[in-house]
Structure 1
């Protein structure tokens, strides 16, 4: 059997803004069903790269292939139609709308072309929430009344409502307590078992070894390491790649006062 092509390949991606070259020939390859961790200091180019992947920015140069075929991600909806969803650190939910309305925002169930079928939306949202292990979230409840962790679940349900094959998660654990982080990792494991790929961005290196399969490190708009095995690469080596200098101690011993 011939090997399957990568789910996503970004080759030689460049992007400049006035006065700064945010991406300088970045490569990224993601396989179906893997957690690919994207690391780098602030300003390394992570946000710009995922916005190119999300269709929010257009690259100046480079090529994107999806399931082995060239792809043009002209808009966020174009990316979503392919099966690429992005969950930003600042969740883009409408707080005054219900959970179900947020999940199906932009692709509502309608009859006669314009009448929104709210009952079906609530039922379908409940199925997605149960799939994510949160059947207790009421699809009729306004999103603004939910906790940060529950709002994140709603964002994931919205992604899954589009038959997504790749989810980008930007610092998803930043606002979660330890128990909620454990549940997030359980959901990620469930998604990858179904063949969904996850691009995971985090500054918490202990998380990378816990859930990551491979690692790509960005520095100053370039990929200084690509596809490193997350469970075998020493943490201090990753820090050295991110900072550009050797690190003897990730957590140096404290000196007495």
Structure 2
């Protein structure tokens, strides 16, 4: 085989090796891309209930971060009204005692009885009025809680839908990458025998960079045969 034929044969082998190495690089990139895609974290939505003050018998079993309803969470105007009612009750009893003591100085029993009746009546009215306001407050808080709960439920459903779509998209991307990997592996398996069966040069030199140097030695007439070109490569590497 003369030098021209040798150069042509090595050039054909070089093109095959370049193509094979390109397939190997492509396969490596696809595998790396698959690992990156598979390693992406898709956060699963967590249901968070709104903070509210429902009555204990209306608190859902799975509710979290909720505090029990008690008098300490009454609006300020309700607490003020209750205090005002107690003050007016005591004031009214004091006035009644003063008035009755002037009208009937000796009727101390009746004075005490009238004062007691006034205090009890005022206390009952104050408590009833307080219960009315408390009931309205509870009802308002419960309705607000239900509205917030419905809003959170809708938001949670949207997040679940997005989570499901993200999972489907990732699975679709992974299937596509797996298909490309399988196709590249088949192409490599089919193409490798063409390189292995080429006996122009030993297998240890069947790399694109090595073949490029050897072909350069032959083209530049630094070597007149394949053996000389290989020896020159070995001496310079």
Alignment TM-score, normalising by the size of structure 1: 0.18
Larger RCO: 1 or 2 (CA < 8 Å, sep 6+): 2
Higher relative strand content: 1
Alignment TM-score, normalising by the size of structure 2: 0.20
Larger-gyration structure (1/2) = 2
